[in-house]
Amino acid sequence: DTEVTQTPKHLVMGMTNKKSLKCEQHMGHRAMYWYKQKAKKPPELMFVYSYEKLSINESVPSRFSPECPNSSLLNLHLHALQPEDSALYLCASSQSSGLGYYEQYFGPGTRLTVT
């Protein structure tokens, strides 16, 4: 059973919509991550939050806006997405992002379809 939860499981949105993906972890971890995964491909890192501060932004378009309200929650706000943004969005967490704490635990993902 996962201790990283993601909602919703599925999301269909139009290109003009605004929606949010939510992620929550209950392990006391201090680092949280957003990944994008296309079919039959490995996950691609989008953002890293460490101690609730954004530490890595992998040149993600501004139509994706992350937010970390507290150490247990991570949101991804979506606006004006393109059809090519359709993918599985994975959230992960780890004890920290520092040396020795790299073991990342993944949530089940949100399957996003942009129409």
Partner 1 sequence: AQTVTQSQPEMSVQEAETVTLSCTYDTSENNYYLFWYKQPPSRQMILVIRQEAYKQQNATENRFSVNFQKAAKSFSLKISDSQLGDTAMYFCAFIGGGSQGNLIFGKGTKLSVKP
Query: 3-state DSSP call for residue 83?
Result: helix
CA dihedral 20, 24, 53, 58 (to 10 degrees): -60
Compute the least distance from the CB of residue 110 to partner 1, in Å.
10
Compute the least distance from the CB of residue 67 to partner 1, in Å.
17
Nearer to partner 1 (CB atom), residue 9 or residue 83? 9
Nearer to partner 1 (CB atom), residue 15 or residue 101? 101
Compute the least distance from the CB of residue 43 to partner 1, in Å.
6
String of b and e for 62-82 (b: at least 16 CB within 10 Å)?
eebebebeebbebbbebeebe
Binding site for partner 1 (CB under 8 A): 2, 31, 33, 40-43, 45, 48, 50, 55-56, 88, 90, 92, 94, 97, 99, 102-109
Chain mean position to CA 94: 13
